[in-house]
Structure formats: structure tokens, C-alpha cells
Amino acid sequence: MGKSLLDKVWEAHAVRELPSGQTQLFIGLHLVHEVTSPQAFQMMREQNLSVPFPDRTFATVDHIIPTDTRQRPYADTQAEGMMSAIEHNCREFGIRFFDASSGHQGIVHVLGPELGLTQPGMTVACGDSHTSTHGALGAVAFGIGTSQVRDVLATQCLAIQRPKVRRIDVDGALRAGVYAKDVTLHIIRRLGVKGGVGYAYEYAGTVLERMTMEERMTVCNMSIEGGARLGYVNPDATTFKYLRGREFAPSAEHFDSAVIWWASMVSDADAPYHDVVRFDGAEIAPTVTWGINPGQAIGVDERIPAPESFPADEREVAEDAYEYMDFKPGRAIRGTRIDVAFIGSCTNGRLSDLREAAKVARRGHVAPHVKALVVPGSQAVAHAAEAEGLHEIFIAAGFEWRLPGCSMCLAMNPDKLVGREVCASSSNRNFKGRQGSPSGRTLLMSPAMVAAAALEGAVVDVREMLK
Amino acid sequence: MSELQRITHVTGRPIPLRGNDIDTDRIIPARYMKAVTFEGMGQYAFYDARFDADGHSKGHVMDDPRFEAKGPRVALVNKNFGCGSSREHAPQALHRWGIKAIVGESFADIFFGNCVALGIPCVTASEADMLYLMLAVEEDPAHDLTVDLQGMQVTYRDKVYPITLPAGVRSQLLEGTWDATRTLLQVQQQVRQTAARLPYVSGFRR
């Protein structure tokens, strides 16, 4: 019997099996941001702990950073406090910090891959649930809490239960106007927001094989929205090519031996899976969420489902969603008026996302009643986009071109919805209050669909705009 | 490092928090995470479900006088509780509000692990038992509920409900080894050996 990538990575990083049945797992890359780390550093001080592997942790600032100005001190004194804390903590514990002056600042899940810090066969942990993103490179990557951030700082290890592995095959080919975001929303819609609890998702099939690294990141990013703490794609030639020449990737001299090891971590043909789920890529439409969790999603041509169409344990959440969103079952999602359009986040804030959105944006102008924001995922993404003139396309079309950060994905900075506003968003969560207004409403969709909605002032089918 | 704290049982007044797929943004809205300590998080637990924009109570169960009690509390929840963001602020807020154990149908992975790290048992009961238990509590909330990790049962008003908890987590709580740092620090030499075997740690130079 062969082994899956998860099995191989787990065994290579297992320090020992613990009496609890958990594994003491070595963490190859630890990423830190300002929101979930200050208490961990404080615990380190209180417990008199030091960092044994300081060069395996990297920090940046993304959640609270304003996207309009980088002037210090920040207007928000709490944000300024968090920024000062991470600066101080990184200095004190000898951790490399990519701040706004480094040229490398950005959303932690954008910069890990883009700097070549994330590599195949690694274990990656970060105090952020979207750490699953890094699985796109064939890493075993998952989110942790703050006490576990302390554990990784202090020991470079975690005590953790090995997950079951579900392979998700997406075969066939995607239709034009259908993107990686639609693939992941479709999977979550079908398998549910709790379907993946206890699982790692191994994404495979021709659709995933043909995807670029950035598209795979979008899919892996949202594994957690389906309940799976981690998701990954087996590394292949696309992965190796992506990594070559990146700042923290193995040097040219050692790259070939790296590729040999990376390739050895790929799932064997006879690897065991707990189960296998198959999707046909051709059946996936541009997908939009209508409710209060990412599983409440439909094709843009569909109508909001009736309560009877849900299994019993999802019906109450659906009823809650109709009320919160003020949407009635049977209503078309297309034509839903929006107030705000947000393009960015660790799900869809990379260069290829901005390119796809710009292809739409260049066809018109943002509707007068819509506030539209484009927030690049990192300084490197912003720089590359500006070199191509994408920012000019967005600005000419009436979008605001902002500085990198998490921004309106979770609205810990000044970018927030107001009141009952409806936001077409390329982010990952449509939870109640997620975008900063306790009564604000979020419709998740691909960046191209967000750009199309911004121009139209309402949800539209991007395929028609691209004709 | 803190003293070992063994958790064999939790007794306290129950508080039903109904609903499937309750995410951690709902347990603690992100705007209350802009603090460098967890102190004071308790007052923001379920804030937007409890208070309107002017800070007036919406009559949430956590503010219902019928469910008011001093001392430790035990939350009763449904399926996939704590999904979404990995924020430890969520269990920290619940813990500081008074919740020392949670009984539910199922829990999200990261939330469950964060609770273990704080010594909050998240135990699972069947859907039918949760239905019955929540109704029993809502009908007459003024009694203590006990979560017994040795006998693996919940008791409320003389009725007993079987519960489950992964054996490893149960032993960590019973033995007081739920705070993992101490355990992980025991084998630093082995950690260095594991690192040395991983070719990427040396940049594939060996």
C-alpha cells in the first residue's frame, strides 16, 4: 500500500507519537501576523521561554494595516498598539519581520508562496485559518490558535492529531468565465461547511493539474470554509517552475536536489484515502453566495433555494440567512443590487486575480452608487500590477487602488461596510458581520464577477460581459 | 510554567447557545480583537448577537435573567460550533465570560484544539440527547449541570446523558497535561534530530 503526501510529510516531521494519540510534529515554516501573536509572545515572556529556531519563523503585518496611508502613528490607536507590539516582539525574539518598509509586506498567505518560503513537503503553521492556502505548493499547512503559536515559537512543534485524507477529483475542463474561486465555492456547496471536519482535502484531477499556482492557492485557501483544516495539491512541474528563482527557494545550485525530494513526497498511485469525491469541471458555473456561510452558494443563473431543499440540519441556518440577508427563497441572485465591491484578500488578491478583474474593469465604469476597492495582496503584487498598468485600468474605471493588506475581508482596519450595505467580495467569508458592519451583507464570488458587479451595480454573469 | 491542572469534571449552570455552524466571527467580532491581551474579551462574547448598534440588549439568552448565574457555566451547542477563523479570542471570550466546558453535537477542528489548550473540555453528545438536554435546560435552567470526564457522562436534574471525547484529549484533561508546551519541550534533542533529517532545513545543501 502506498502513501499519500499527507502520510509522507507527517512521517518525515513526526518527532514522536504522544501518549494522547497526537503527534509531536516539527513545523518547517511558522508565519506570524500582528493579531494572533501578541498574547503568544507575552506567554513566552511570562513562562521564560526562548525561540530555538528563530530562522524558521517570519512575521508580517496584514490584518490591521490601513490601505489608504502608511503614516505612523496610525489613526486607530489600537492598530498602532498592535503594530508596535509586533515590531517589539520580533526584535526581542530575533524574528524576521516584513514591515511596510521592507518591500515584502503583505497578506501572510500571499507572501509565503511568493517569497518561496513555502515549499513542497513542508509543514506550515500560522495563527490564521487560511494557512491552508500554502497547501497549493504541496505543503501540509494549517491554522492554529494563539496558545499553539506560543508552542511553535517555544518548541518549533505542535501536538496535533493526524487528519483523515479525502481526495477531491475535479475532472474535465472549466468553461470560459469560470475560475478557481467558482471551483472552491462549488465544492463547499456540495460537501457542506462541516463536511471536511477531521479531514485533509487532497485536490486532484485534470482541472487542478491545469491550474496555475495562484489558482491552486485560491482552492486550497478555502478548504477551511468546507471544514477541512488543510488542503493540498501534489507538487508537479508547475510547482517547481513557480518556485525557481524565488528569494527563499533553494538556490540554483541545489534546486535539482530539492526537486528530487519534493517529487518523492507526491502521493503514490496506490495511496489510501478515506474516501474520494468526484466533480465534473464542466458543470461548474460562476458561483455566488446568497447566505451567511460559504456553503450557501448557487450558480449565478440559479435562484435562492427553498427551505425544503436543505437537509434538516441546514434548514435553520438557511432560515436565519433569508432573514439576515433579506432575501426570499425563489428569488434570482442575479440582479441583486450591490453597494460595495471588494477585490483582494488571501483568497483572491494575487496578480492573476487582478488581471482577470482588470479585463472586466476596462470595459466600463463603476456604477455611480457603488464604492469599489482593489487591495493587492502584497507589496510585490502591487508592484507587479503597477508595472503592467493594471492600477491605471482600475482607477480609470472608478475603482480605488489601495495599499496591500487584508482590508475589507475582515475589516479590522478602516475599510468596513456601513449598515446594511451589500458587498460583492472576492474574499472567503460571508459570515454575519464579517465585513465590519454587524448588519452588513456579503456575496462571495470570483474577482472577475466582483468587477462585473461593480460596473453593473448589481450581480451579473461575467460570461456575458466577456462575450 | 503553570502548575498541572487536572480537569476531571466541570459543574456549573448550563447556557444553551442554539444553532448549527456558529462561526468564531459571531463568537467574537473581529473589531474586538484589536487588543494585545485577552483580558476583557469576556464582555464581547457574542456581542453582535446580544447587543444592537446602540449597545442595547437584544434579549439574547446570555442576558436573559432566567439564565443568569454566578460561577462556572457549561455551554450547550449544536453542530460544527466554532467554525471559521482560528482566533483563540473566541474560546478566550467564552472562558472569560464564565464558560468552563461545552457540550455539543460537533465542533470545528481548530476551535476544538484551541479549547483543549485552555483546558475547556468540548464533549460530544448525540443529536437526540442534545435536543432533550437543551429543552430540559430551557424549561428549568436553575440547576447545576455536571460534565464528568471520568464517567463520560453529563448529568442534569438526575438524568444522565452519555458523552464522547477523543481518548487522548480526555487523558490530557484528566492528567492535567492539556497545556502542550511542557510536553513538547521534553525532547529537544529529538526535535533537533528531526530537523536535521529534513533536507530543506539546510536549504538542500547537504
Q: Collect all residues of chain A within an 8 Å Cβ-Cβ radius of residue B200.
A: 28, 119, 121-122, 250, 258, 261
Tell me which of 3.20.19.10, 3.40.50.300, 3.30.70.20, 3.10.310.10 is the CATH number of domain B9-178: 3.20.19.10
State the cell numbers at A399: 475603482
| pLDDT score of A103 more than 70 | yes
B126 inside 8 A of chain A by CB: no
Residue range A230-246: mean pLDDT, rounded? 98
* A58 and A102 assigned to the same domain: yes
Per-residue pLDDT of B175-192, as tens digits, reads 999 999 999 999 999 999
Residues A359, A263 share a domain: no
Positive or negative, the CA dihedral A181, A185, A190, A195 is: positive
Asked if A42 and A59 sit in the same domain, the reply is yes
A69 and A211 assigned to the same domain? no
Residues A244 and A314 reside in one and the same domain: no
Whether residues A134 and A218 fall in one domain: no
Residue B2: pLDDT over 70: no
Query: Region B131-160: what's the mean pLDDT?
Result: 97
pLDDT of A406 reads 98
pLDDT given at position A20: 86
Distance in angstroms (rounded) separating the CA atoms of residues A187 and A278 = 10
**pLDDT at A359 exceeding the cut of 90:** yes
Single out the residue in A118, A141, A160 at which a domain terminates.
A160
pLDDT over 80 at B3, yes or no: no
Residue A299 and residue A263 in one domain: no
Q: Do residue A351 and residue A439 come from a single domain?
A: yes
Q: Is B19 on the interface with A (CB under 8 A)?
A: yes
Q: Name the domain boundary from A119, A141, A160.
A: A160
Model confidence at A266, pLDDT cuts 50, 70, 90, reads very high
pLDDT of res. B4: 82
In the predicted structure, residue A444 carries a pLDDT above the cut 60: yes
A307 and A205 share a domain? no
Q: What is the mean pLDDT of chain B?
A: 96
Residue A436 in contact with residue A408, Cβ under 8 Å?
yes
pLDDT of residue A209: 98
| pLDDT for position A202 | 98
Amino acid identity of residue A353, one-letter, is: D
Q: Is the pLDDT of residue B122 over 80?
A: yes
Residue B1 has pLDDT above 60, yes or no: no
Domain boundary at A103, A131, A160, which? A160
Average pLDDT taken over every residue of chain A: 97
Q: Distance of CA A355 to CAs A185, A338, A384, A394, A421, Å? A: 21, 22, 11, 10, 26
Are residues A267 and A240 part of one domain? Answer: yes
Q: With beta carbons under 8 A apart, name residues in chain B contacting A159.
A: 180, 183-184
ipTM of the complex: 0.97
Q: How far is CA A287 from CA A195, A419, A450, A462, in A?
A: 19, 25, 11, 11
Contact B110 A145 (CB under 8 A): yes
Alpha carbon distance A342, A229 (integer Å): 25
CATH number, residue A348:
3.30.499.10
* Chain A residues touching residue B134 (CB < 8 angstroms): none
Beta carbons of A432 and B25 less than 8 Å apart: yes
Residues of chain B positioned with their CB less than 8 A from the CB of A257 = 199, 204
Question: Nearest CA to A58 among A93, A38, A29, A27?
Answer: A29
Residues A155 and A127 grouped into a single domain: yes
Residues of A in contact with B195 (CB under 8 A): 26, 53, 156
Number of domains in chain A: 3
Q: At what angle do helices B109-117 and A146-155 cross, to 10 degrees?
A: 70
Domain extent, residue A135, equals 5-160
Q: Are residues A314 and A459 in the same domain?
A: yes
User: Domain residues of chain B, as ranges?
Assistant: 9-178
Closest chain B C-alpha to A153 CA, distance in angstroms: 10
DSSP state for residue B80 in the 8-state scheme: S
Residue of B nearest to A250 (CA): B203
Contact (CB, 8 A) for B102 and B121:
yes
Q: Is B124 on the interface with A (CB under 8 A)?
A: no
Residue range B117-134: average pLDDT?
98
**CATH code of residue A256:** 3.40.1060.10
